[in-house]
Amino acid sequence: MAFIIPKSYKLKLLPETTEKAIKTLKDSFEEKLAKTLNLRRVTAPLFVLSGTGINDDLNGNEHAVSFPIKSMDDRKAEVVHSLAKWKRMKLGAYGIAPGYGLYTDMNAIRTHEELDNLHSLYVDQWDWEQTITERDRNLDYLKNTVEKIYKAIKEIEQKIYAEFPHITPQLPDNITFLHAEELLRQYPTLPAKDREAKAARKYGAIFLIGIGNTLSNGEPHDGRAPDYDDWVTPNSDGYFGLNGDIILWNPILECAFELSSMGIRVNKNSLLRQLELRNCMERTELSFHKSLLNEELPLSIGGGIGQSRLCMYLLQKAHIGEVQASIWPEDQMKKCTQHNIMLL
């Protein structure tokens, strides 16, 4: 995505008021998410040891920020990309029962990002994970969880409107479920991100299922690492995959706006299949993967919800730098100032 200067952008909150609104929004949503999904808060690491398989690959090709640890003979540590695997390990360590789970603040540094309105070097998410049973590993459970999260987002949107009546709600009443293969069949000549934009504009809010596996055109809709979300298991819609992305339509930037990536996590069988498809069988020797293959970890569903992304969308900002402090190219900062986009 290229840097966008939206047409006729109107600043709805000054930076000082924005800071207050951010705190209100984050506190309220965090509390609502925890209550909705039966989650308890835990403390999370900023970095993990390299070579354990605990860190996440996201799309499968990103490189983590790393550094040597002097007091451990220069053993390398990595800043987390997300906490998908770490959370699952904690579910097991804490013995959390099915239907209950945990959440945490996840902070990451992603140096590979192309900096624009939606992408920053600094990533902040609510990372959450919930224990499930074998009978919960299905599309209905995934959809039901998505609807609970979407309802929580809608309620916070109304709370913001009650406090700042000039920020009028813009989300549709319901979220629409689509499979990536359906989207490809609807728009066979368009690239994946353009297909997303078409659907997001049409419905306002979608959950796009099946991110990671190969579609009928021989390509995945988008990359997804092989060892956390299950994108290979057939589902009740006649397609495959028990994962997906929450994508909203952003009327200010006129673009698709990914808010969350989530899914039912791999079990022993789907992990082996996905590692084979991605030619990553060597990962079976890593500690996390060994635990999973030995069925020592609980079955789970989980994901991440962008904190700055949610604030940006609900406060109707044009740039993620209006709701978080980070580093931006000088020319981008200059253009923002010229167009009344006030970066923190």
**Catalytic site positions:** 56, 110, 125, 245, 258, 261
Q: Measuring CA to CA, which residue among 178, 179, 196 is closest to residue 239?
A: 179
Task: Tell which residue, 97, 106, 83, 104, has the closest CA to residue 130.
Answer: 97
CB 257, CB 248: distance < 8 Å = yes
The structure tokens listed for 152 are 């929580």
Q: Name residue 339's amino acid.
A: H
Cβ contacts of 7 within 8 Å, gap of 6 or more: none
Q: Over the range 114-136, which residues count as b (16 or more CB within 10 Å of their CB) and which as e? A: ebbbbebebbbbbbbbbbbeeeb
Residue 16: CB atoms within 10 Å: 8
Q: Is 211 exposed, middle or buried, given 0-12, 13-18 or 19+ CB atoms closer than 10 A?
A: buried
Strand order in the sheet with 255-264: 39-41, 101-109, 122-131, 300-306, 255-264, 243-250, 205-209, 176-179
81: buried, middle or exposed (CB in 10 Å: 19+, 13-18, 0-12)?
buried
